Amino acid sequence: MNNNLLLHGCVISSMAMGENDRRILLLTRERGLISAFARGARRQSNALGAATNPFTFGAFEAFEGRNSVTVVRAEVQEYFRSLMTDLDNVYYASYFLEVCEYYGEPGVDETDRLNLLYVTLRALEKGVIPRQLIRRIFELRTLYINGEYPDVFSCTECGSRENLTMFSLRNRGMICKECQSKEDGGLFPVSESLLYALQLILSAPLEKLYSFTLGKESMEEFERLMRAYQRRYGEHKYKSLDFLTNS
Protein backbone atom coordinates (compact mmCIF):
# COMPACT_ATOMS: atom_id res chain seq x y z
CA MET A 1 0.00 0.00 0.00
CA ASN A 2 1.39 3.38 -1.04
CA ASN A 3 1.02 5.88 1.82
CA ASN A 4 2.70 8.79 0.02
CA LEU A 5 0.54 11.78 -0.85
CA LEU A 6 1.02 14.77 -3.12
CA LEU A 7 -1.35 17.53 -2.05
CA HIS A 8 -1.87 20.81 -3.88
CA GLY A 9 -3.38 23.48 -1.70
CA CYS A 10 -3.13 26.29 0.80
CA VAL A 11 -2.20 26.45 4.46
CA ILE A 12 -5.35 27.60 6.22
CA SER A 13 -3.96 27.60 9.76
CA SER A 14 -0.76 26.69 11.58
CA MET A 15 -0.32 25.80 15.25
CA ALA A 16 2.82 25.17 17.31
CA MET A 17 3.13 21.62 18.60
CA GLY A 18 5.75 20.56 21.14
CA GLU A 19 9.13 22.28 20.92
CA ASN A 20 9.78 22.23 17.17
CA ASP A 21 6.75 20.92 15.28
CA ARG A 22 3.67 22.42 13.70
CA ARG A 23 0.18 21.17 13.07
CA ILE A 24 -1.26 22.68 9.91
CA LEU A 25 -4.64 22.66 8.24
CA LEU A 26 -4.54 22.42 4.45
CA LEU A 27 -7.29 23.10 1.93
CA THR A 28 -6.40 20.81 -0.96
CA ARG A 29 -7.64 19.76 -4.36
CA GLU A 30 -7.13 16.06 -3.69
CA ARG A 31 -8.33 15.61 -0.10
CA GLY A 32 -10.31 18.73 0.70
CA LEU A 33 -9.63 19.94 4.22
CA ILE A 34 -6.89 17.89 5.84
CA SER A 35 -4.88 18.18 9.05
CA ALA A 36 -1.17 17.37 8.94
CA PHE A 37 1.98 17.58 11.03
CA ALA A 38 5.23 19.22 9.96
CA ARG A 39 8.04 17.80 12.07
CA GLY A 40 10.78 20.28 12.98
CA ALA A 41 9.08 23.11 11.07
CA ARG A 42 9.76 25.59 13.87
CA ARG A 43 13.50 25.05 13.76
CA GLN A 44 15.23 28.03 12.19
CA SER A 45 17.01 26.01 9.52
CA ASN A 46 14.09 23.75 8.62
CA ALA A 47 12.90 24.07 5.03
CA LEU A 48 9.28 23.57 6.08
CA GLY A 49 9.29 26.67 8.27
CA ALA A 50 8.15 29.24 5.71
CA ALA A 51 6.09 26.72 3.74
CA THR A 52 3.80 25.97 6.69
CA ASN A 53 2.66 29.55 7.36
CA PRO A 54 -0.95 30.58 6.64
CA PHE A 55 -1.70 31.91 3.12
CA THR A 56 1.01 29.69 1.58
CA PHE A 57 0.00 27.95 -1.66
CA GLY A 58 2.03 25.06 -2.97
CA ALA A 59 2.54 21.33 -3.46
CA PHE A 60 2.97 19.35 -0.24
CA GLU A 61 4.51 15.89 -0.18
CA ALA A 62 3.18 13.94 2.78
CA PHE A 63 3.12 10.51 4.35
CA GLU A 64 -0.17 9.10 5.59
CA GLY A 65 0.22 6.96 8.69
CA ARG A 66 -2.42 5.05 10.58
CA ASN A 67 -3.56 8.03 12.65
CA SER A 68 -2.01 11.11 11.08
CA VAL A 69 -0.59 12.76 7.98
CA THR A 70 2.94 14.19 8.04
CA VAL A 71 4.26 16.74 5.54
CA VAL A 72 7.84 15.93 4.59
CA ARG A 73 8.49 18.40 1.77
CA ALA A 74 6.86 21.46 0.21
CA GLU A 75 7.27 23.34 -3.05
CA VAL A 76 5.85 26.82 -2.57
CA GLN A 77 3.88 28.49 -5.36
CA GLU A 78 2.91 31.69 -3.53
CA TYR A 79 3.52 33.09 -0.03
CA PHE A 80 1.40 36.26 -0.34
CA ARG A 81 4.00 37.96 1.81
CA SER A 82 3.02 41.46 0.73
CA LEU A 83 -0.36 40.98 2.43
CA MET A 84 1.45 40.85 5.75
CA THR A 85 2.66 44.45 5.40
CA ASP A 86 -0.85 45.88 5.72
CA LEU A 87 -2.84 45.11 8.87
CA ASP A 88 -6.23 45.61 7.20
CA ASN A 89 -5.24 43.15 4.47
CA VAL A 90 -4.24 40.65 7.15
CA TYR A 91 -7.66 40.94 8.79
CA TYR A 92 -9.54 40.45 5.53
CA ALA A 93 -7.29 37.60 4.38
CA SER A 94 -7.71 35.89 7.76
CA TYR A 95 -11.48 36.13 7.36
CA PHE A 96 -11.30 34.50 3.93
CA LEU A 97 -9.25 31.63 5.39
CA GLU A 98 -11.73 31.21 8.23
CA VAL A 99 -14.65 30.99 5.80
CA CYS A 100 -12.79 28.33 3.80
CA GLU A 101 -12.07 26.38 6.96
CA TYR A 102 -15.72 26.49 8.02
CA TYR A 103 -17.13 25.38 4.67
CA GLY A 104 -14.28 23.15 3.52
CA GLU A 105 -14.90 19.43 3.79
CA PRO A 106 -12.46 16.55 4.26
CA GLY A 107 -12.20 13.88 1.61
CA VAL A 108 -13.76 15.86 -1.27
CA ASP A 109 -12.45 17.83 -4.23
CA GLU A 110 -12.17 21.46 -3.10
CA THR A 111 -10.65 22.82 -6.30
CA ASP A 112 -13.33 25.49 -6.78
CA ARG A 113 -13.00 26.80 -3.23
CA LEU A 114 -9.21 26.72 -3.44
CA ASN A 115 -9.17 28.62 -6.73
CA LEU A 116 -11.61 31.20 -5.35
CA LEU A 117 -9.38 31.74 -2.33
CA TYR A 118 -6.35 32.22 -4.57
CA VAL A 119 -7.89 34.86 -6.85
CA THR A 120 -9.41 36.60 -3.84
CA LEU A 121 -6.08 36.92 -2.06
CA ARG A 122 -4.54 38.08 -5.32
CA ALA A 123 -7.20 40.79 -5.68
CA LEU A 124 -6.63 41.85 -2.08
CA GLU A 125 -2.90 42.02 -2.71
CA LYS A 126 -3.30 44.15 -5.87
CA GLY A 127 -5.56 46.64 -4.09
CA VAL A 128 -7.30 47.80 -7.26
CA ILE A 129 -10.85 47.46 -5.91
CA PRO A 130 -12.06 48.17 -2.34
CA ARG A 131 -11.56 45.49 0.30
CA GLN A 132 -15.22 45.56 1.28
CA LEU A 133 -16.28 44.82 -2.30
CA ILE A 134 -13.76 41.97 -2.44
CA ARG A 135 -15.29 40.59 0.73
CA ARG A 136 -18.86 40.67 -0.56
CA ILE A 137 -17.87 39.14 -3.90
CA PHE A 138 -16.05 36.36 -2.06
CA GLU A 139 -19.05 35.69 0.21
CA LEU A 140 -21.54 35.51 -2.65
CA ARG A 141 -19.30 33.31 -4.79
CA THR A 142 -18.79 31.04 -1.76
CA LEU A 143 -22.56 30.58 -1.60
CA TYR A 144 -22.43 29.57 -5.26
CA ILE A 145 -19.78 26.92 -4.53
CA ASN A 146 -21.86 25.66 -1.62
CA GLY A 147 -24.91 25.32 -3.88
CA GLU A 148 -27.00 27.65 -1.71
CA TYR A 149 -26.79 30.85 -3.70
CA PRO A 150 -29.76 33.18 -4.32
CA ASP A 151 -31.51 33.30 -7.69
CA VAL A 152 -30.70 36.64 -9.29
CA PHE A 153 -31.49 35.65 -12.87
CA SER A 154 -35.28 35.30 -12.77
CA CYS A 155 -38.29 36.09 -10.60
CA THR A 156 -38.61 33.48 -7.85
CA GLU A 157 -42.41 33.74 -8.05
CA CYS A 158 -43.25 33.64 -11.76
CA GLY A 159 -39.94 32.93 -13.49
CA SER A 160 -39.86 36.16 -15.48
CA ARG A 161 -36.46 37.58 -16.40
CA GLU A 162 -37.82 41.09 -16.90
CA ASN A 163 -38.30 43.99 -14.45
CA LEU A 164 -36.30 42.40 -11.62
CA THR A 165 -36.17 45.26 -9.15
CA MET A 166 -36.49 43.69 -5.69
CA PHE A 167 -34.73 40.97 -3.73
CA SER A 168 -36.89 38.77 -1.49
CA LEU A 169 -35.24 37.34 1.63
CA ARG A 170 -38.06 34.83 2.00
CA ASN A 171 -37.63 33.54 -1.54
CA ARG A 172 -33.83 33.87 -1.57
CA GLY A 173 -33.92 35.68 -4.87
CA MET A 174 -35.25 38.36 -7.14
CA ILE A 175 -38.87 39.44 -7.52
CA CYS A 176 -40.28 41.20 -10.56
CA LYS A 177 -42.53 44.26 -10.35
CA GLU A 178 -45.66 42.27 -11.05
CA CYS A 179 -45.07 39.87 -8.13
CA GLN A 180 -44.00 42.34 -5.47
CA SER A 181 -47.53 42.62 -4.07
CA LYS A 182 -47.35 38.95 -3.04
CA GLU A 183 -44.56 39.69 -0.57
CA ASP A 184 -45.29 40.73 3.02
CA GLY A 185 -41.89 42.27 3.77
CA GLY A 186 -38.25 41.43 3.53
CA LEU A 187 -37.82 43.13 0.17
CA PHE A 188 -34.66 44.99 -0.78
CA PRO A 189 -34.44 47.31 -3.79
CA VAL A 190 -31.85 46.25 -6.35
CA SER A 191 -30.69 48.75 -8.94
CA GLU A 192 -29.88 47.73 -12.49
CA SER A 193 -26.15 48.12 -11.85
CA LEU A 194 -26.24 45.97 -8.71
CA LEU A 195 -28.34 43.30 -10.44
CA TYR A 196 -25.75 43.12 -13.20
CA ALA A 197 -23.00 42.81 -10.59
CA LEU A 198 -24.81 40.02 -8.73
CA GLN A 199 -25.30 38.09 -11.95
CA LEU A 200 -21.66 38.61 -12.88
CA ILE A 201 -20.42 37.37 -9.50
CA LEU A 202 -22.41 34.15 -9.83
CA SER A 203 -21.59 33.42 -13.46
CA ALA A 204 -18.24 34.93 -14.43
CA PRO A 205 -15.06 32.87 -14.78
CA LEU A 206 -12.71 33.42 -11.87
CA GLU A 207 -10.29 35.55 -13.87
CA LYS A 208 -13.11 38.09 -14.40
CA LEU A 209 -14.52 37.96 -10.87
CA TYR A 210 -12.65 40.97 -9.50
CA SER A 211 -12.69 43.05 -12.66
CA PHE A 212 -15.30 45.66 -11.73
CA THR A 213 -16.17 48.26 -9.12
CA LEU A 214 -19.47 49.66 -7.89
CA GLY A 215 -20.58 53.22 -7.34
CA LYS A 216 -21.31 54.41 -3.82
CA GLU A 217 -25.09 53.88 -3.97
CA SER A 218 -24.85 50.43 -5.52
CA MET A 219 -22.21 49.39 -2.99
CA GLU A 220 -24.46 50.53 -0.15
CA GLU A 221 -27.30 48.45 -1.65
CA PHE A 222 -24.97 45.46 -1.87
CA GLU A 223 -23.93 45.94 1.76
CA ARG A 224 -27.51 46.13 3.03
CA LEU A 225 -28.52 43.08 1.04
CA MET A 226 -25.61 40.90 2.14
CA ARG A 227 -25.97 41.88 5.79
CA ALA A 228 -29.68 41.06 5.78
CA TYR A 229 -29.11 37.79 3.94
CA GLN A 230 -26.42 36.69 6.36
CA ARG A 231 -28.48 37.68 9.41
CA ARG A 232 -31.32 35.49 8.17
CA TYR A 233 -29.43 32.53 6.77
CA GLY A 234 -25.96 32.69 8.31
CA GLU A 235 -25.40 30.18 11.09
CA HIS A 236 -21.81 30.83 12.05
CA LYS A 237 -20.05 33.71 13.78
CA TYR A 238 -16.55 34.24 12.43
CA LYS A 239 -14.00 35.42 14.99
CA SER A 240 -12.06 37.39 12.39
CA LEU A 241 -15.10 39.61 11.70
CA ASP A 242 -14.44 41.32 15.05
CA PHE A 243 -11.44 42.99 13.41
CA LEU A 244 -13.20 44.18 10.27
CA THR A 245 -14.93 47.54 10.03
CA ASN A 246 -18.57 47.48 8.91
CA SER A 247 -18.76 43.78 9.68
pLDDT in tens, 7-17: 999 999 999 88
Report long-range pairs for 106-109 (Cβ below 8 Å, ≥24 apart): 106/31, 106/32, 106/33, 106/34, 107/31, 107/32, 108/32, 109/29, 109/30, 109/32
**What is the enclosing helix (H) or strand (E) of 81?**
none
pLDDT-flagged residues of the chain (< 70) = 1-2, 245-247
The pLDDT of residue 2 is: 56
The pLDDT of residue 246 is: 60
Could you tell me the pTM of the whole model? Answer: 0.93
The pLDDT of residue 44 is: 80
- Please name which of 205, 224, 229 lies closest in space to residue 214, comparing C-alpha atoms: 224
The pLDDT of residue 61 is: 94
The pLDDT of residue 1 is: 40
